[in-house]
Structure 1
């Protein structure tokens, strides 16, 4: 029986064994992604507003748990994995701080909707459309 894909083909690192810190840091964009993410979370007012709103809604975000820098296929920049409540940042496609700021803000909106409104991402197209707007 074929499992539903839910777009995981765009995030091939989702099902792989994690690499060691040394391999991630030296041989990928992982370190740069982590630094840009940290900068966004510390300085971007939209990201800070959304994180505070999530906290007020009872969904505290832990950076090392709820954000993941991974390699992705195609031109995708990031995504929100509702199964793990995790924001995936495509370290091989996000090259500039301004891009990281936009992606984190966009995905935090999905995370907030998931927390606050309990969005049914895969069965209710109206929920998905509302979160995208």
Structure 2
């Protein structure tokens, strides 16, 4: 005789139940703002992870950087590049939102801010930027508390990653025709160094960038030229 016990709570939801839940999250009917925010957060992380995986396999820039990191003795497992929710998500009015970060300790990792990207190319340039920091630390033993070291790596990362392409700057609200690329590299390098806890002030950041500007702007390793 068939059991009359109710279905286990672990029984998978039906397709209709999943559809209904998705509709609730999209429309906001029957769910809280917190539930909708959590669903969007999870969706952004999944999208970011997929783009990251695809780029690690097929992007000429990312594949090139991973190769040269291996040649320099630094392996970068896929799990060392990870997507997480971050504060201050990207919006159409916030073009300078934090998109990623290089985490040098303990073994070097790249954090990507899920939901802060407006295109696959944006993810690509962010990964490349942070891999350049990793390359500098691996190859040149960067001391991140030394403002000149930090400034040089920021100049190189902004110069070589594609972060300062003309249309990227236009999207940020910066319009210029004379030495636009150099102005972008300098501005972003100063901003990053100024955020270093070891940097006393914006003036110190500007001085550090100015002191290493010429030599670090012309240093395109491991590339032959600016991408």
The reply to whether TM is greater than 0.5 is yes
Alpha-carbon distance change, 130 to 68 in structure 1, aligned in 2, over 3 angstroms: same
2:47 is paired with a residue of what secondary structure?
helix
Aligned length: 109
CA contact (8 A) 1:24 1:31 kept: no
TM-score by length of 1: 0.75
Cα deviations by residue, 1:57-84 (Å, 9 ceiling, x for unpaired) = 11111011x1110111221000001113
Query: What does residue 66 of structure 2 align with?
Result: 51
Query: What does residue 85 of structure 2 align with?
Result: 71
Query: What does residue 34 of structure 2 align with?
Result: none
Gaps of 5+ in 1: 1-22
Return the offset for 1:97.
0.5
Gaps of 5+ in 2: 1-37, 89-96, 156-227
CA-atom RMSD in angstroms? 1.9
Q: Select the structure of larger CA radius of gyration.
A: 2
Alpha-carbon distance change, 24 to 107 in structure 1, aligned in 2, over 3 angstroms: farther
Report the structure, 1 or 2, having the larger strand content.
1
Query: What does residue 77 of structure 2 align with?
Result: 62
Please give the alpha-carbon distance, in whole angstroms, between the structure 2 residues aligned to 1:31 and 1:25: 10
2:86 is paired with a residue of what secondary structure?
coil
Q: Which of 38, 52, 60 lines up with 1:37 in the alignment?
A: 52
1:29 is paired with a residue of what secondary structure?
helix
TM-score by length of 2: 0.45
Cα deviations by residue, 1:72-122 (Å, 9 ceiling, x for unpaired) = 12210000011131100000212421110110111110111121112111x
Alpha-carbon distance change, 68 to 25 in structure 1, aligned in 2, over 3 angstroms: farther
Q: Which fold has the larger relative contact order, with Cα–Cα distance below 8 Å and residues 6 or more apart in sequence?
A: 1
Query: Is residue 2:133 matched to residue 1:87?
Result: no
Query: What does residue 13 of structure 2 align with?
Result: none
1:87 is paired with a residue of what secondary structure?
strand
